[in-house]
Amino acid sequence: MSDLNICIIQSHIFWHQSNKNKDHFNELFLKIKKDKNPDLVVLPEMFNTGFTTDINEALPYHEIENWLIEQSNKNNFAIIGSSLVLNENHERVNRCVLANKDNIQFYDKVHLFVLSSEFQDLKPGKIRPIFILNDWKIMPTICFDLRFPEWHSNQNEYDLLINVASWPKVRSDHWITLLKARAIENQAYVVGCNRVGVDGNNIDYQGDSMVYNYEGKILAELPKDESGIIYVTINKNDMLKYKKKFNLQKSKSHYSIKYEEDPK
């Protein structure tokens, strides 16, 4: 299977109202299933609460996992997005989850946002996983991760980079530029899914959700400041042909990333 059919949801998020957000996305899932029935649906960062570190909003991980599994099974597509959860050690983490029927893969955000309480209140992740969906290798990242090119360095490890975000309007030009840069330098498809609206901290988000191909060309984008849904089909064979013709790997320095919990 060389094609992957993706749906991106650019949405407002009800502040600290997890059940209301679940109901909202449940309705959208039914519409998406009826309209297109894609392989993968992408949700923004902290889709069930808005961007927060409030301990009262940190659900046990299994609650989010069970809901995603339920919706993936019910609608017959995989779902990816992040939420504030308590990990297995009861620590707050920003966890990106890919649910494909009963199969769960997850990534805990490594680069915590220094201009917010996330940096002090949440536990950073320690692993750099590659998710598998059908025959696609997907690198999951969350919002602020996007600023660190070394973290995304692609040594033929992934085909698709997905960044789920709550990226503020004030730095929207950074968002657009970095998404394009990650696509070009890694010769991979890049999906950026960002929210819209104003959150409980009076931070404004304009969306700019979009998909770039391996050359940095825009394949799909959603209007600014509007909730919406967009569909795109990406083709792995096209990407592989391009990479064979313009093989950056021949010149690339190969190295590994060593994670240090408390860098000196």
Three-state DSSP at 97 gives strand
SS3 content of the chain, % helix, strand, coil (to 5): 30, 30, 40
Three-state DSSP at 50 gives coil
Residue 161 and residue 63: Cα distance in Å, rounded?
Answer: 26
Residue 185 and residue 262: Cα distance in Å, rounded?
Answer: 29
Among the listed residues 185, 181, 192, the one whose alpha carbon sits nearest the alpha carbon of residue 80: 192
> Exposure of 170 by Cβ count < 10 A (0-12 exposed, 13-18 middle, 19+ buried)?
exposed
Contacts of 156 (CB under 8 A, 6+ apart): 249
Residue 36 and residue 256: Cα distance in Å, rounded?
Answer: 40
Q: Which residues are catalytic?
A: 45, 109, 143
Within 10 Å of residue 80's Cβ, how many Cβ atoms?
26
Contacts of 202 (CB under 8 A, 6+ apart): none
Report residue 148 as tokens: 């660190």
